[in-house]
Structure 1
Amino acid sequence: MPPTAKGAAQRLKTKFNTHIESGNFYEAHQLCNTLLFRYTNSENYDEALDLITSSTHVFIDHKIYHSTFDLLNQYVNLLEKSGQFSNNERVMEFKATLSRLSSHEDERLAVINSAIKKSKSPKMTRGNPNLHYHLAKLYEEEFQLQKARYHYIFSNDPKKCALFCIKLSHAGLASEVALFATQAVLQYLVIVEVEYAKTFLEVYIQCHPKIVTKLAPFDYPLLNFCYFLLIHIPEGKIDNYLRLTSTYEKSLKRDKSFAPCLEKIGANYFGLAVPKKTGSGGLMGLLDSLFDNMSEGDVKLDNEEYLSASEDNQEEPDLDSNQDSKRVKMSEPRIEASDLD
């Protein structure tokens, strides 16, 4: 920016501060827009982003939220225009501002959704992983754990996701240790990230202090299910899938979120023909229909490896059966398969 333009910009910034001190917030907002127009036209994106960051914090300090969200939307537009969604520093600034707006969840969520949409590209069809990672950290710090896990799934870092899910499992009962791992593994498979699912499961098992047995067969039936599922995916044989799901039917029915994931996994990896309508049974009806296919296909449970690790020979550890009062309640809805599309 030429020296004269810099001097004019500085005068406008001084005027902005004067308006803030006088309580003329509308005028201050309009000055911001004037400066942003000049910076953007000259492609001085860093100056523009710095201006928005400092100004939004000033408006938040004075509880002027309309101006705050208007500027945040402009910040998102500039990140897209300048290609900086992968810029760690810029996205951290964005997260820091969002963290001050938790009491305005609807408006904040609209900005977040806009950022995710605008961060997409042909190679990042679900949004920029760097953005998802910092959104995961935002929700983790706010103890919105299910939302945090959703964004960890899309952060392209299954190791960090596994470590987070270990923390998440501590908020539940000891008997639910395998549930948290299974939810994430199935979600990775739904979005066709098999290698991420493998890495996640390995890190989760090796690092979780409550999983004593680190090699299959494990003490938790659902961990064995995940282990064998990942083994059979490359083969893509429907008989193996039906046999596996039948063997672990009891455990798989413990969580309603498993059913739609199993439907998509069966269709995507094993060619399972799933009816368009699951009938009146709902999600559990879907699982029932899946297990009915077992008997129709006359697939026998003759795999000794399955049976040695099956739930008939194991019970989920019930270490906290009388300790519900110690459990941390989480009000957020579970992540469904449809949320991962």
Structure 2
Amino acid sequence: MAASRGGVERVLKKLRVSVEEGNFYEAHQMYRTLYFRYMSQKKHAEAIELLYSGASLLLKHNQHGSGADLCMLLIEALNNANSTVNKDIIDKICSLLRLLDQESPERAQYINAALKWSAKNESAYKSGHPDLHQQIAMTLWKEKNYCESRYHFIHSYDGKACASMLVEYATAKGYPSEVDMFVTQAVLQLLCLKNEKTASVVFYTYTEKHPDIETGPPFMKPLLNFVWFLLLAIQGGKLTVFAVLCEKYQPSISRDPSYKDYIDRIGQIFFGVATAKRRQCSSRWSLREFVAKSLC
């Protein structure tokens, strides 16, 4: 094993010299050749280390096309090796992500491929491993790519960082009238993903940190009170409480048409609302009538 590692180090040293001398094309082709050789010999660890080192080196020398190619081969190697998700691999993936050109289409392809690999190896996370989502979200946040960062935070368990990013997003890009909407959509989406613990952390951290939200709860903004009561109602799991809550705050809920679909799903997950019966509910949210039918 030590001899094998020493052989890899000698090859990597030779390739680094080639790159430093500006022989980028030759180095790229050699990385590919050695990768396929290692994989044919089932030397998966060596192949992964080779590709990570090569991609890092090429990207640092602004060889974005060649570097991106090795990044994609790295994900291919992880798939072929049936590698499990762990911190070391996630760190490698996200280290390369930070080096990739932010505007290149290969970057999005790389992110999608990495998440797909992590989902394949962790069947509980169909959208990708939450730890990988968290690191991707942090990287995109630092780049001020709030929209994409938000998506990945929603699929992570890092509620505090998600809330801090949302505060920055709202203050930098939002209107004063949307202060409550930034956090509401995030909380509802997290609840739809059955992640009530993170949803609660996001809500309380956001309302505590946002400079334009007064100390609460209760809050001056009705929509924030709705979310607060919803989180409390989920702990009790009573359908009648959920129904009355939605009826009382109908004007606030109606501010964004997407809320209704989220709340429908939340009703199914946490309050046992049957899909067929929920569809019988009128578009005017006559929830008292709906609850009566549900309790029959």
Query: What TM-score do the two structures reach when normalised by structure 1?
Result: 0.71
Secondary structure in structure 1 of the residue aligned to 2:286:
helix
**For residues 70 and 294 of structure 1, do their structure 2 counterparts lie closer, same or farther at Cα, with a shift above 3 Å needed?**
same
Give 2:195's aligned residue.
193
User: Could you tell me which amino acid in structure 2 is paired with residue 222 of structure 1?
Assistant: L
Give 1:222's aligned residue.
223
Distance in 2 (alpha carbons) for counterparts of 1:24 and 1:188: 45
**For residues 19 and 207 of structure 1, do their structure 2 counterparts lie closer, same or farther at Cα, with a shift above 3 Å needed?**
closer
Asked if 1:291 corresponds to 2:285, the answer is: yes
Cα deviation, residue 190, structure 1: 0.1
Asked if 1:118 corresponds to 2:117, the answer is: yes
Give 1:175's aligned residue.
177
8 Å CA contact 1:86–1:128 kept in 2: the answer is no
**For residues 144 and 9 of structure 1, do their structure 2 counterparts lie closer, same or farther at Cα, with a shift above 3 Å needed?**
closer
Cα deviation, residue 161, structure 1: 1.7
Cα deviation, residue 94, structure 1: 2.6
**For residues 17 and 229 of structure 1, do their structure 2 counterparts lie closer, same or farther at Cα, with a shift above 3 Å needed?**
same
Cα deviation, residue 24, structure 1: 5.9
Aligned residues: 288
Distance in 1 (alpha carbons) for counterparts of 2:268 and 2:256: 20
Asked if 1:59 corresponds to 2:51, the answer is: no
Distance in 1 (alpha carbons) for counterparts of 2:5 and 2:237: 64
User: Could you tell me which amino acid in structure 2 is paired with residue 98 of structure 1?
Assistant: L
Cα deviation, residue 158, structure 1: 1.5
Distance in 1 (alpha carbons) for counterparts of 2:274 and 2:238: 13
Cα deviation, residue 12, structure 1: 7.1
Cα deviation, residue 296, structure 1: 6.1
Distance in 1 (alpha carbons) for counterparts of 2:268 and 2:284: 11
8 Å CA contact 1:222–1:252 kept in 2: the answer is yes
User: Could you tell me which amino acid in structure 2 is paired with residue 212 of structure 1?
Assistant: E
**Within-5 A mapping of 1:235-314:** 235-274=236-275, 289=283, 291-294=285-288
8 Å CA contact 1:133–1:151 kept in 2: the answer is yes
Distance in 2 (alpha carbons) for counterparts of 1:164 and 1:244: 29
Distance in 2 (alpha carbons) for counterparts of 1:8 and 1:160: 39
Asked if 1:86 corresponds to 2:89, the answer is: no
Secondary structure in structure 2 of the residue aligned to 1:291:
coil
8 Å CA contact 2:24–2:63 kept in 1: the answer is no
**For residues 92 and 19 of structure 1, do their structure 2 counterparts lie closer, same or farther at Cα, with a shift above 3 Å needed?**
closer
Query: What TM-score do the two structures reach when normalised by structure 2?
Result: 0.80
8 Å CA contact 1:188–1:197 kept in 2: the answer is yes
Highest RCO, 1 vs 2 (Cα 8 Å, sep ≥ 6): 1
Cα deviation, residue 5, structure 1: 8.0
User: Could you tell me which amino acid in structure 2 is paired with residue 144 of structure 1?
Assistant: N
Secondary structure in structure 2 of the residue aligned to 1:289:
coil
User: Could you tell me which amino acid in structure 2 is paired with residue 167 of structure 1?
Assistant: E
Give 1:325's aligned residue.
none
**For residues 223 and 19 of structure 1, do their structure 2 counterparts lie closer, same or farther at Cα, with a shift above 3 Å needed?**
closer
Cα deviation, residue 298, structure 1: 7.7
Distance in 1 (alpha carbons) for counterparts of 2:223 and 2:181: 7
User: Could you tell me which amino acid in structure 2 is paired with residue 86 of structure 1?
Assistant: N
Distance in 2 (alpha carbons) for counterparts of 1:221 and 1:152: 25
Cα deviation, residue 15, structure 1: 5.7
8 Å CA contact 1:190–1:264 kept in 2: the answer is yes
Structure that is richer in helix per residue = 2
User: Could you tell me which amino acid in structure 2 is paired with residue 67 of structure 1?
Assistant: S
Secondary structure in structure 2 of the residue aligned to 1:233:
helix
Distance in 1 (alpha carbons) for counterparts of 2:110 and 2:49: 18
**For residues 288 and 48 of structure 1, do their structure 2 counterparts lie closer, same or farther at Cα, with a shift above 3 Å needed?**
same
**For residues 68 and 218 of structure 1, do their structure 2 counterparts lie closer, same or farther at Cα, with a shift above 3 Å needed?**
same
The unaligned stretches of length 5 or more in structure 2 are: none
Cα deviation, residue 110, structure 1: 1.4
Cα deviation, residue 42, structure 1: 6.0
8 Å CA contact 1:252–1:258 kept in 2: the answer is yes
**For residues 222 and 102 of structure 1, do their structure 2 counterparts lie closer, same or farther at Cα, with a shift above 3 Å needed?**
farther
The unaligned stretches of length 5 or more in structure 1 are: 279-285, 300-341
User: Could you tell me which amino acid in structure 1 is paired with residue 137 of structure 2?
Assistant: A
Cα deviation, residue 179, structure 1: 1.1
Task: Calculate percent identity across the aligned residue pairs.
Answer: 32
